[in-house]
């Protein structure tokens, strides 16, 4: 009998397994590869919303939890995951420069926003108004994280790689079973796959498709993340990730020519050197109508839980929400009402 069965091994599943292991709980994981968000993500962690120059939701506390979380994972997996790199926000006008400086004075934001303009020194970039620098930002190599974590669990015999088959699932008070697996509780951390979950598909998960390109450009020579109408993220070896798109209708993981064109058109508004496209990927962000995560206990079946709705900020949100769920289950702490799925029970749950 395990303490937990975790279904889904993206950022949500990994972060919950990490809490479980630290707290000495036993668990096993079932996951397939039907969803790709964590594998394809740009992996940026950045506490500032760069459209409006405001602090993202709970960004400070999330940053404080995320730093040691990824450092511990690097140690445990013996893999470099956290690449600390500043984000340079390209200004499109003097008005934007002024808005930035106004914001950089505000409490909370002053820690993250530069108070001077960074002049453009890269001849491959067109940026006549310069940049604002966001500090304490970086990139988690999420593809390597997922792959290494799968390897880590496989070595311990704790990962079953298959699609969760609800016809083989039974639950009673204090006990669930899935095929030969017995556990006290089950946590569904399936990303957009939650749509096919008969217990939690009442939750208003929208899903927003995103696509990213990888380009190779020996002439680009840029060490910072550049944020203009798209992000350009340096990966080393003259490779850069370019993204991302936001599409609300298509829910497949298939890259499209239309999004590729959109990304290239946007990239060419500031990148002036030659490059070639070497990769193109897509995934579905688990986005929610009110832009907050989905965390909590099933309204009726008390040993069924959900950890989802990380939207476009999974890297920072994962450690925070996992701790919230664990402390709720094991320590009887209440979940932050903004993320507790209870907020949707009245409106959407229809037993």
Ligand X SMILES: Cc1cc2nc3c(=O)[nH]c(=O)nc-3n(C[C@H](O)[C@H](O)[C@H](O)COP(=O)(O)OP(=O)(O)OC[C@H]3O[C@@H](n4cnc5c(N)ncnc54)[C@H](O)[C@@H]3O)c2cc1C
- Say whether residue 296 binds ligand X (CB under 6 A): no
Interface stretch with ligand X, choices 5-13, 79-87, 107-115, 258-266 (CB under 6 A): 5-13
Residues 242-271: x where in contact with ligand X by CB under 6 A, - otherwise, as a string: -xx---------------------------
Nearer to ligand X, 130 or 319 (CB): 319
Binding-site size for ligand X (CB under 6 A) equals 43
Nearer to ligand X, 47 or 130 (CB): 47
CB of 98 to ligand X, least distance (A): 27
Nearer to ligand X, 37 or 109 (CB): 37
CB of 168 to ligand X, least distance (A): 12
Out of 41, 48, 63, 267, point to the residue binding ligand X (CB under 6 A).
41
Rounded CA separation 15/11 (Å): 6
Q: In this structure, what token pair is assigned to residue 172?
A: 């009673």
Q: Cβ(233)–Cβ(240) under 8 Å?
A: yes
Residues 46-75: x where in contact with ligand X by CB under 6 A, - otherwise, as a string: ------------------------------
Interface stretch with ligand X, choices 99-107, 179-187, 256-264, 282-290 (CB under 6 A): 282-290
Out of 2, 5, 6, 8, point to the residue binding ligand X (CB under 6 A).
8
CB of 183 to ligand X, least distance (A): 15
- Say whether residue 234 binds ligand X (CB under 6 A): no
Out of 43, 130, 132, 296, point to the residue binding ligand X (CB under 6 A).
43
- Say whether residue 34 binds ligand X (CB under 6 A): yes
- Say whether residue 312 binds ligand X (CB under 6 A): yes
Give the DSSP per-residue string, 243-258. E---BSS--S----HH
Give the burial class of 264: count Cβ atoms within 10 A of its Cβ; 0-12 exposed, 13-18 middle, 19 or more buried.
middle
Beta-bridge partners for 159: 29
Q: Which of 115, 112, 97 is nearest to 45 (CA)?
A: 112
Rounded CA separation 282/58 (Å): 27
Out of 6, 19, 30, 127, point to the residue binding ligand X (CB under 6 A).
30
Rounded CA separation 63/43 (Å): 14
Q: Which of 38, 35, 10, 5 is nearest to 20 (CA)?
A: 5
Alpha helices, DSSP H, located in the chain: 11-22, 37-40, 59-77, 94-103, 142-155, 257-267, 314-331, 345-348
Interface stretch with ligand X, choices 2-10, 215-223, 262-270, 339-347 (CB under 6 A): 2-10
- By CB under 6 A, the residues from 153 to 212 that bind ligand X are 163-164, 189-193, 196, 210, 212
- Say whether residue 100 binds ligand X (CB under 6 A): no
Maximum Cα interatomic distance, the chain, rounded to a whole number of Å? 65
Nearer to ligand X, 59 or 212 (CB): 212
Q: In this structure, what token pair is assigned to residue 10?
A: 């993206």
Which residues 6+ apart lie within 8 Å of 270 measured at CB?
90, 125, 126, 127, 226, 228, 229
Nearer to ligand X, 131 or 199 (CB): 199
For residues 182, 147, 42 and 313, what is the CA-based torsion angle, rounded to 10 degrees? Answer: 20
- Say whether residue 37 binds ligand X (CB under 6 A): yes
Beta-bridge partners for 33: none
CB of 305 to ligand X, least distance (A): 14
Task: Give the count of alpha carbons within 13 A of 297, CB side only.
Answer: 15
Nearer to ligand X, 271 or 295 (CB): 295
Rounded CA separation 187/14 (Å): 12
Residues engaged in binding ligand X (CB under 6 A): 7-13, 30-35, 37-38, 40-44, 163-164, 189-193, 196, 210, 212, 243-244, 283, 285-286, 308, 310-316
């Amino acid at each position: 009998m395990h303490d937990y069965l975790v279904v889904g091994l993206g950022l949500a599943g990994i972060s919950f397994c990490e809490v479980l292991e630290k707290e000495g709980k036993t668990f096993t994981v079932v996951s397939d590869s039907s969803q790709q968000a964590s594998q394809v993500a740009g992996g940026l962690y950045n506490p500032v919303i760069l459209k409006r120059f405001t602090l993202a939701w709970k960004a400070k506390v999330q940053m404080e939890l995320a730093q040691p979380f990824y450092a511990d994972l690097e140690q445990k997996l013996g893999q470099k995951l956290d690449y600390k790199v500043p984000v340079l926000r390209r200004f499109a006008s003097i008005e934007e420069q002024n808005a930035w400086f106004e914001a950089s004075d505000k409490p909370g934001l002053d820690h993250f926003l530069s108070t001077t303009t960074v002049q453009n020194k890269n001849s491959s970039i067109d940026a006549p108004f310069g940049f604002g620098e966001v500090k304490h930002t970086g990139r988690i190599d999420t593809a390597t994280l997922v792959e290494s974590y799968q390897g880590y669990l496989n070595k311990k015999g704790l990962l079953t790689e298959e699609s969760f088959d609800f016809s083989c699932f039974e639950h009673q008070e204090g006990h669930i079973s899935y095929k030969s697996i017995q556990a006290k509780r089950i946590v569904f951390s399936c990303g957009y796959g939650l749509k096919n979950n008969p217990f939690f598909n009442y939750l208003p998960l929208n899903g927003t498709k995103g696509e990213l390109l990888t380009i190779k450009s020996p002439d680009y020579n840029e060490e910072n993340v550049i944020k203009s109408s798209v992000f350009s993220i340096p990966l080393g070896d003259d490779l850069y990730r370019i993204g991302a798109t936001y599409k609300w209708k298509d829910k497949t993981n298939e890259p499209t020519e239309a999004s590729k064109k959109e990304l290239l058109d946007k990239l060419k508004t500031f990148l002036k050197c030659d490059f070639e496209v070497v990769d193109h990927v897509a995934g579905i962000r688990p986005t929610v109508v009110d832009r907050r995560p989905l965390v909590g206990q099933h309204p009726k079946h008390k040993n069924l839980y959900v950890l989802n709705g990380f939207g476009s900020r999974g890297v920072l949100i994962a450690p925070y929400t996992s701790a919230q769920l664990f402390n709720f289950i094991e320590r009887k702490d209440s979940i932050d009402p903004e993320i507790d799925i209870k907020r949707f029970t009245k409106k959407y749950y229809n037993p």
